[in-house]
Structure formats: C-alpha cells, structure tokens
Amino acid sequence: MESPFVIVDLDHALDCHTPQHEMAARDRDRVVLGVAAEPTDAVGGFDILLTGVADPPRPWVGCPDPHATARKLGHIVESLPAASVALVQVLRMGGGLSIPDRLILESLAYSTLQGGAAFRSWLAAAPRRTPRPAETPVRLDRDGPRLAITLDRPWVRNAFDAATRDALCEALQVAVADPSISRVDLYGDGPAFCSGGDLAEFGTSRDAAQAHLVRVHRSPGALLHRCAPRVTAHLHGACVGAGIELAAFAGRVVAAPDTVIRLPEIGMGLIPGAGGTASIPVRVGRERTAYLALSGAELGVEEALRWGLVDEISDVDCATADPHRAVRH
C-alpha cells in the first residue's frame, strides 16, 4: 500500500511549482508536506509547509529543524492514516464551501471516524471517567445591550459535554434572535476557558449517523458564526479542542497570557469535531490548521497572536466570570 504521506524538499525538488490541481490529483489520498530552509512564493497543493525561518509568513510554519518535524508528522500520519488523511481532505474541500456547509462536511467525516479502528482502540485504552454534570452548565447575564455567556463547570475545566453544548446553543439563540443585543462576551469560569470535549462522554453514542444529525442540528459553531461580529471570546488557561474551535468563530478573541491552545483529536483517531475545520482556517489558513491538528502541539499565546488565532493578549483578568468586569482594549 502506498504511503499515506509524502515529504517534498522544496529546496531541491524539480517540481515544487507543479500546478496545484495536478498535485491534488496525484496526492488526494495522502498528506503532502513541503519543507524549505526559507519560505518560497507560489507554492500550492501542500497540506503543511515547514521552514527553518522563525515567524515566517502565512501559510508557513517555522520550526528549528523542519526536516525532523516533517519526519515526526509523517510518523503520526503513518500511525493514524485514516484520521490524518480525512483531516486534510476536509480542509482542502472546505475552502470552497460556506461555513455551514464546512460544518456538515466536518461532522460527516467525524462520524465516519467514530466507527474506525483507531478511535475504538483509543477508547478501549482510555481510563474510565465518571460524568460530573452541572445543573446549569452555562450561565447568562444580561446588562442592557450586553449579554455575557459563561461556561460554568469549573471542576472539570469546562469540559464540553452534551448538556453544555445544548445550553450554549440556547444562549446563542438568544443573541441571534435579539438584534438589541449589541455585544456578546463568552467566558469560561475557573482555571480554564474550556479543556475540550468531556472524555466521560466519549464513546457513549452507539449511533454515529444519529450523532451526525445531532451535531448539525445543535451546533454552537453555526450559531456563533451567525452572530460573530458581536461576539468576543475571552480565553485563559487551557483552550483545547472545542475550547479553541468554538472561540475561533468569534469576531474578536482576547486571550490572557496563560492561554495554551491545542487540538488533540488526531491522537484519538478523530478530527476536530466542534467546528475547528471551519473556524480555524479562516483565521490561520488550512495549512497551519493541519499542522496544529496533526502535531497536537501546544500553541502559546504569543504565536497565536502572530498567526491571527488571537486578536489581543490582555494583562487584565479576562477569565473572570463576572460579566460586569471590563476587559481593557
């Protein structure tokens, strides 16, 4: 079987300027990595572009040893080919779709992977976790034209369970339906904005097709997209998986200095499933999104700011759950 990835050394490749449609036809079922000592122009058809230059322009990712990083990513792709290839396919296709259609595409791929061997293996090895639900997982505070929405399960770092998803949808429907609300602030109470999907619920759904319908029907990402210009997400601590996928839909993202961003789903045999393949590429491009998801690497707040995933770093405690506490702009 052909390798699920290919690494192209752009410093020596004769065909590094191959037209994008030709490269896509040749490698549509592989992850294509481009590596160069320095960023080059007019490079198309690559899923990830790595360079040894620090802070390179988009779509490049800078790293001290790009060839070593490429080999590490290649090992991940070889270990988890179904999720890795599905990720880049969704990102490639998503560029020509509307945000609502990108969300549907992502959910279809996510449901497919839920039935895959890699996810079943991860699930079997994962420790059992006891659900720790909240009576009110999302809190709303209205002050005139301002609506504050607070994720309120601090004991699990606001892990995103089905009840939180449904409550967040209800809160966002208020903002979508009421044009008198001119500002929506999204917070997370406690030590982290959101630590990602609640692992206590992973694998509890036995019907992947029905789960797809639920994700599309109850989509916080779709609602955030509809009111995005009015939304400011206030990040702090861990912003993992759903924590950054949903926040990236906001028109403005303000992050505390301790913010750490990560997309861990590939390691579970999945792809981002809370809208990340729709929201994050709009801010950073599909190549950098693919790098974040495939590597699972932590992205610090300074680099997130340079990439455009964060719009401002605030030294004010923007993690507060008090909706009357101002954030300095």
Final residue of a structural domain among 21, 44, 79: 79
User: What pLDDT does 205 receive?
Assistant: 78
* 71 lies in the same domain as 127: no
Residue 120: CATH number of its domain: 3.90.226.10
* 135 lies in the same domain as 63: no
Place of tokens 């693919």: 290
Detail the DSSP E strand segments found in the chain.
5-9, 31-36, 48-51, 61-62, 138-143, 146-151, 183-188, 231-235, 238-240, 252-255, 260-262, 299-300, 312-313
Sign of CA pseudo-dihedral 167, 319, 249, 199: negative
Kindly give, in sequence order, each residue whose CB lies less than 8 Å from that of residue 146, ignoring residues fewer than 6 positions away. Answer: 181, 182, 183, 184, 185, 323
pLDDT confidence of 12, banded at 50, 70, 90?
confident
Per the structure, the count of domains in the chain is: 2
Residue 115 domain flag: yes
User: What pLDDT does 301 receive?
Assistant: 97
Sheet holding 5-9, edge to edge: 5-9, 31-36, 48-51, 61-62
pLDDT one-digit tens code per residue, 149-165: 999 999 999 999 999 99
pLDDT at 325 over 70: no
Average pLDDT over residues 191-208: 90
Burial track 175-202 (b if 16+ CB lie within 10 A, e otherwise): bbeeeebeebbbbbbbebbbbbbbbbbb
* 51 lies in the same domain as 175: no
Average pLDDT over residues 119-136: 93
Backbone φ/ψ region at 157: left (φ over 0), alpha (ψ -120 to 50), beta: left
User: What pLDDT does 43 receive?
Assistant: 79
Q: Which domain, by its residues, includes 48?
A: 5-79
Residue 283 domain flag: no
Kindly give, in sequence order, each residue whose CB lies less than 8 Å from that of residue 124, ignoring residues fewer than 6 positions away. Answer: none
pLDDT confidence of 206, banded at 50, 70, 90?
confident
Final residue of a structural domain among 46, 79, 112: 79
Residue 87 domain flag: no
pLDDT confidence of 323, banded at 50, 70, 90?
very low
